[in-house]
Amino acid sequence: MTQQPFDELLAWFDPEDRDRAAAKYETIRRSLIKIFTWGGCVDAEGMADETFNRVAAKVPQLRPTFEGDPALYCYGVAKRLIKECQRSARAHVSLDEVGDPVAPLPEEEEEADDSLSRESGCLRQCLDNVPPKDRALILAYYMKDKQAKIDHRKELAQKLGILSNALRVKVHRIRATLEDCIERCLDEKAPE
């Protein structure tokens, strides 16, 4: 958005006080980000900006005849954008279609430490009990390091058509299930 449409948008929010208009803009923007996050859109901040771009383009026609709170108009535009976001999310590929990632577990080596062997065996056993879709997700989630890990997780969330937070929650649940299974397995295999 260029400066002129932005100025017109602020003038529509509050024609008398630019500071109040700017505060209203920030309040609406925060609300829009929450709305898009709740709506399952991957880039909530970008969608909030897009809402303002679309509203700013309409301000010259709206301003003379619109009655009421401009925030409500912004929320109406956001509602239509959420529908667009959800339609595009349906076009993303699911993990079922992607298949298992190429991330085999390291081969067990002869180790002096028996507890490490038990842990590795329990991990393998518990991973075998996890549904294939969840196993593929958790292996893919932990497959990279440093910045590559961050980028990979963003791509994974986008492929699934979900937010990064939703991905973290999903992986946390899978991991909690695995950890419980591993603890039970280790208790069963513990030396007397």
Tens digits of per-residue pLDDT, 41-64? 777 888 899 999 999 999 999 888
Secondary structure of residue 143 in the 3-state scheme = coil
Residue position matching structure tokens 């339609």: 87
Contacts of residue 189, Cβ cutoff 8 Å, sequence gap at least 6: 118, 121, 122
Task: Report pTM.
Answer: 0.47
Neighbours of 95 (CB within 10 A): 18
Closest CA to 85 of 37, 134, 53: 37
Q: Are 48 and 33 in contact (CB under 8 A)?
A: yes
* CA contacts within 13 A on the Cβ side of 159: 16
CA distance 50 to 62: 18
CA distance 90 to 101: 21
Considering 21-35, 73-87, 120-134, the range whose residues carry the highest mean pLDDT is 21-35
Q: Bigger pLDDT: 18 or 89?
A: 18
pLDDT in tens, 62-97: 888 888 899 999 999 999 988 887 776 655 545 554
